[in-house]
Structure 1
Amino acid sequence: MALTGRRRAPSEHAFSPHDDVLRTAAPHVARRRFMTVTAAAAMLAFATNRPARGATAASELDAARVSADPFTLGVASGDPLSDSVLIWTRLAPEPFAEDGGLGRQRVVVSWEVALDEWFSFVGQRGTATAHPEYAHSVHVDVKGLMPDSHYYYRFRVGSWISPTGRTRTAPATGTDADGMRLAAVSCQAYQDGYFTALRHLAQEDVDVVFHLGDYLYEYPVDSAGGARRYTDRELPDVFNRETTTLADYRLRYALYKSDPDLRAAHARHPFVVTWDDHETENNYAGALDENGSPQEQFLVRRAAAYRAYWEHQPLRAEQLPQGPDARLYRRLAWGSLAQFDVLDTRQYRSDQAYGDRPHAPGSESDDPARTLTGAAQERWLLDGWRNSDALWNVMPQQVCFSQRKFDLTAPARVSMDAWDGYRACRDRVMAGAKAAGIDNWMVLTGDVHVGYAFDIKDDFDDPQSRTLGTEITCTSIASGGNGTRKPDNWDTYMKANPHLKYYDGRRGYARVELGRENARVDFRTVSAVNTPGGTISTTASFVTEVGSPGLKSA
């Protein structure tokens, strides 16, 4: 997250003779998109290297000829359902090479899922093809699993066996699960420090990790790894530039997934992921970047970023991008205990008001036509609440939902990049929660590199108004460096926002235990990220009771 000047108006472009190619390659794209995307955009954004078939298919590499460990980027699992889970790996014996060291050949990968870590009781096994067009990534949707069960998984290529991953399935639909533990994480700028919090998270007893965005950053990383100040290694120059192309984004994911703490957390827990801005470009809004570039130019970049994101995350085929578009918002359940409505607040949003600078709300930001979610996602969210029978309705998303005043003076400035800059959209969501009778509503948030705990108020300007739910902001893994317990603006924020119950500027994550009677929230922070090996502690704990929203110190 960063402050920028106002975007320039997007360029206008005439109808292109290549639009027939666009329509053939991407029939899902609305006609208005064809009016702005050029032939250059078409080549990447709408026909990006799908695996060919028949005579034009890539040749197969004999797995016995893979002479170096292809599992350098680890394994991962995600989006657990009651009968299936997605398992992932990417083959890259040379992770810092553009092709990962496997060239343009496809590779057949064996996989197996077992009930025990020694694989004595293998329940499922099969093969999958790692295609060069997908950066030799493998996404296996393992079905036919038992509900509410732990599993272990691994991959094999020739004589090479991957690290073992541990995952689990959700309880069966409608079953009365007694409880579940989740962790919320976000914002892991490699160049800002070590992923110490993820090393500790790998040792936690949690069922699912929600990654709320900024999995990587597009900014250059120098040979010393930025604040990591490597003395025993030197990163290649390919990282010392901003990511703009598909090759750039793939390489940047390889750098991040070379981190042993990130690999450990993925191997231990299933992840549910969603993106924010930096997986593509700082503070972008829909088809607009922060520099006012022509839309068709930015959509090419967005297509590359979205493609690389899917290739490197444990996501199902339903999330595979089609050019610069991807359906990332989705719904998961944990028996009758919890419904998780995972949002995407970047792809469909209106441009930030007032030049994306902190500003008091006004006619521009409060235009009812402005949206953070897009109309389709908003309807999907509210319809999901109306049909929900879950005890807890949890909304994992990216940017601060609750009002956050920056000043004690009136009118106070707020962030135009968060829900404060889209108050009409927030009002519709809050009205939808009330209309659906959502009693136990929890919002999970990332983005701002600090830990917050908010009571969500019916009227944020009236501390005595009804409390509708709870918002937990999970701070960052590394972004922002070590941080401090009380940032310079701590007193101002706490006084200006009486619904703000906790504010801490250090690195870490939030751990939440959802139960039948209450939810407990623990803020976990590490001692430092500028050197490896920091310790972790619980710096604050809160409880919110079922049927009685509002945070109380535990």
Structure 2
Amino acid sequence: MRPTGRHRPLPERRFPDHDPVLRSAARHFAGRRRFLTLGAAAAALAFAVPAPAAGAATARALDAARITENPFTLGVASGDPLPGSVVLWTRLAPDPYEPGGGLAGQSVTVGWEVARDERFAAVVRRGTATAVPEYNHTLHLDVDGLQPGRVYYYRFKAGPWISETGRTRTAPAPGAAVTGLSLAAVSCQAYHDGYYTAYRHLAGEDVDVVFHLGDYLYEYAVDAAGGARKYTDRVLPEAFNRETVTLEEYRLRYALYKSDPDLRAAHAAHPFVVAWDDHETENDYAGGIDENGGPPEEFLLRRAAAYRAYWEHQPLRAAQLPAGPDMRMYRRLHWGDLAQFDVLDTRQYRSDQAHGDGRQVPGPESDDPSRTMTGAAQERWLLDGWQASRALWNVMPQQVCFSQRKLDLNERALMSMDAWDGYRASRRRVLDGAKAAGVDNLVVLTGDVHVGHAFDIKDDFDDPGSRNLGAEFVVTSIASGRNGAERPSTWQTYLTANPHMRLYDGRRGYVRVGLDREAARADFRTVSAVTTPGAPLSTAASFVTEAGNPGLVPV
């Protein structure tokens, strides 16, 4: 979300020679910026990622018994559940706020176990893996041979240290008749804007899977007091008090975020399916174009660093490992015959925002049919996937507002050029593709805007009587925007300007969605404050949309 305009000043770019991912590319770029194309930049960066085997062979092995401080300070996580496998994640970092996490230049052998029970009396899989410095001592274990549709518990061990226990689950068998599914959607967790109280509540929810819809990290500086957290019992290192640009800076920022106990609790309780938006790299970037329209080859260096750190710190498979500034994040998951999840990437392949970005009246530039939110390949992948889908519910987790959202009451209203309103031809192709595929039960999950919305997705958003094609649930932020308000100052304007908008709530929290054979139900769960810890949780609103009969009904 670009709240302060496109052309705010940026800090000086820093790409030091000790940065292992960027060293070769930086040398390649020296003296050649004016002549470098995007394709050449991508090619130069593509070889800059060392292979795990090479890293394991060159790093000095450390006897894990010699680690004197708990290395599991950033918790555990699991993700992307399949019928027979799930990704397990951890990172060794006995000193998480230091480069290298206190293990710089050393590799460590780590044991792991998966069991049917929390006491690990019935272990079903175990093994060892090597945490190498080239991957910042992160592990991504694609544990297979598991039974579909069941809960498992997992943990890691390094020397005398045992991690906390994580709880995960596998997806049901392909095509299995599934009667119900419970999921949660979260987004936008600016550390400096407040506490992650919503995550503590989410850790106690009975949900099958959590979808993170972007802005897991913010690139902005965090001061010594933790911003709005106003720490009095600790002082954050000066390294956090600047915008992230280099690989090491992104890595340290993930360490700060993942050190939060409430975020760790949510990861340990549920498998996550993650998708990024802009702030994991830089505010409102579009494809290979940065916020201020700087040299693209320079931005791609930053994007390579950001993508690498993102993969390192999320429960993602090797298929998502970035090659320089490119990382395949869109992917498809299934939950038996009940739901197909088409997880989009609306940031990496998009056209630049039209009309200079921000809040603008749509015009010929924004409505140019050649403009794309997803890129041609991802768009075709999505529409082909819907043609082949046999699921009752087709769920599209993605990042920015999909439904039309007028921002004033003028006949020609302002709209956000960063959302799908700035890419209306692209949205039209997606909706026409859904209709052509016979998708009757479309649910879109969205983040980004730091408020909760519920939308009827209209065939024609300018005609209130137009056919409903699905429902969109926009989740508010975990912390971004600080406490928020139940009725923001634009509450009445937005609801009047957008008859298909059924909810507008500005408090922090998450959305819990239940799917069954008859209906989808969304509960908008909110906390009263995030600038002080421990706020209670309440349900702001609930809506149901019936299978085969799209249209939100409050309950």
* Coarse TM-score class (shorter-chain normalised): over 0.9
Match of 1:420 in 2: 421
Q: 2:133 and 2:218 mapped to 1: Cα distance?
A: 24
Normalization by structure 2: what TM-score?
0.94
Letter in 1 for 2:499: P
List per-residue Cα deviations over 1:216-241 (Å, max 9, x = no partner): 10000000000000001110000000
1:95 and 2:96 are equivalent in the alignment: yes
Cα drift, residue 49 of structure 1:
3.7
1:336 and 2:337 are equivalent in the alignment: yes
1:185-264 alignment to 2 at 5 Å?
185-264=186-265
Match of 1:317 in 2: 318
Letter in 1 for 2:181: M
Residues 174, 135 of structure 1: CA spacing in aligned structure 2 closer, same or farther, 3 A cutoff? same
Q: 1:379 and 1:507 mapped to 2: Cα distance?
A: 35
1:47-446 alignment to 2 at 5 Å?
47-51=48-52, 53=54, 57-446=58-447
Check conservation: 1:22, 1:42, Cα contact below 8 A: no
Q: 2:44 and 2:278 mapped to 1: Cα distance?
A: 24
Match of 2:554 in 1: 553
Q: How many residues align?
A: 535
Residues 340, 39 of structure 1: CA spacing in aligned structure 2 closer, same or farther, 3 A cutoff? closer
Tell me the C-alpha RMSD between the 2 structures.
2.1
Which secondary structure state, in structure 1, belongs to the residue aligned with residue 225 of structure 2? coil
Letter in 2 for 1:255: L
Cα drift, residue 62 of structure 1:
1.1
Letter in 1 for 2:204: Q
Which secondary structure state, in structure 2, belongs to the residue aligned with residue 222 of structure 1? coil
Cα drift, residue 359 of structure 1:
1.0
Q: 5+ residue gaps in structure 1?
A: 9-20, 25-32
Q: 1:57 and 1:166 mapped to 2: Cα distance?
A: 34
Match of 1:466 in 2: 467
Q: 2:103 and 2:345 mapped to 1: Cα distance?
A: 33
Cα drift, residue 42 of structure 1:
7.2
Residues 44, 101 of structure 1: CA spacing in aligned structure 2 closer, same or farther, 3 A cutoff? farther
Cα drift, residue 362 of structure 1:
0.6
Q: 1:506 and 1:455 mapped to 2: Cα distance?
A: 21
Match of 1:17 in 2: none
1:482 and 2:483 are equivalent in the alignment: yes
Q: 2:69 and 2:364 mapped to 1: Cα distance?
A: 60
List per-residue Cα deviations over 1:242-261 (Å, max 9, x = no partner): 00000000000000000000
The ranges of structure 1 where at least 4 consecutive aligned residues each deviate by more than 4 angstroms after the TM superposition are 21-24, 37-45
Q: 2:408 and 2:520 mapped to 1: Cα distance?
A: 31
Check conservation: 2:527, 2:537, Cα contact below 8 A: yes
Bigger drift between 511-520 and 39-48 goes to 39-48
**Identity level (%):** 71
Q: 1:238 and 1:481 mapped to 2: Cα distance?
A: 23
Q: 1:216 and 1:266 mapped to 2: Cα distance?
A: 15
Which secondary structure state, in structure 2, belongs to the residue aligned with residue 100 of structure 1? helix
Check conservation: 1:192, 1:228, Cα contact below 8 A: yes
Normalization by structure 1: what TM-score?
0.94
1:506 and 2:514 are equivalent in the alignment: no
Cα drift, residue 5 of structure 1:
3.4
Q: 2:111 and 2:475 mapped to 1: Cα distance?
A: 37
Match of 2:522 in 1: 521
Letter in 1 for 2:61: E
Residues 58, 417 of structure 1: CA spacing in aligned structure 2 closer, same or farther, 3 A cutoff? same
Check conservation: 2:485, 2:505, Cα contact below 8 A: yes
Cα drift, residue 46 of structure 1:
3.7
List per-residue Cα deviations over 1:429-470 (Å, max 9, x = no partner): 000000000000000000000000000000000000100000
Cα drift, residue 50 of structure 1:
3.5
Residues 23, 49 of structure 1: CA spacing in aligned structure 2 closer, same or farther, 3 A cutoff? closer
Cα drift, residue 407 of structure 1:
1.1
Q: 5+ residue gaps in structure 2?
A: 10-21, 26-33
Q: 1:248 and 1:490 mapped to 2: Cα distance?
A: 38
Residues 121, 484 of structure 1: CA spacing in aligned structure 2 closer, same or farther, 3 A cutoff? same
Cα drift, residue 56 of structure 1:
5.8
Residues 52, 119 of structure 1: CA spacing in aligned structure 2 closer, same or farther, 3 A cutoff? closer
Cα drift, residue 2 of structure 1:
2.4
Match of 1:496 in 2: 497
Check conservation: 2:361, 2:412, Cα contact below 8 A: yes
Residues 37, 62 of structure 1: CA spacing in aligned structure 2 closer, same or farther, 3 A cutoff? farther
Q: 2:207 and 2:446 mapped to 1: Cα distance?
A: 18
Cα drift, residue 44 of structure 1:
5.7
Check conservation: 1:475, 1:509, Cα contact below 8 A: yes
Cα drift, residue 40 of structure 1:
9.2
Check conservation: 2:38, 2:288, Cα contact below 8 A: no
Letter in 2 for 1:240: N
Which secondary structure state, in structure 2, belongs to the residue aligned with residue 512 of structure 1? strand
Residues 22, 96 of structure 1: CA spacing in aligned structure 2 closer, same or farther, 3 A cutoff? closer
Q: 2:499 and 2:40 mapped to 1: Cα distance?
A: 53
Check conservation: 1:41, 1:297, Cα contact below 8 A: no
Which secondary structure state, in structure 2, belongs to the residue aligned with residue 386 of structure 1? helix
Letter in 1 for 2:394: N
Which secondary structure state, in structure 2, belongs to the residue aligned with residue 531 of structure 1? coil
Which secondary structure state, in structure 2, belongs to the residue aligned with residue 379 of structure 1? helix
Letter in 1 for 2:60: S
Check conservation: 1:6, 1:355, Cα contact below 8 A: no
Match of 1:14 in 2: none
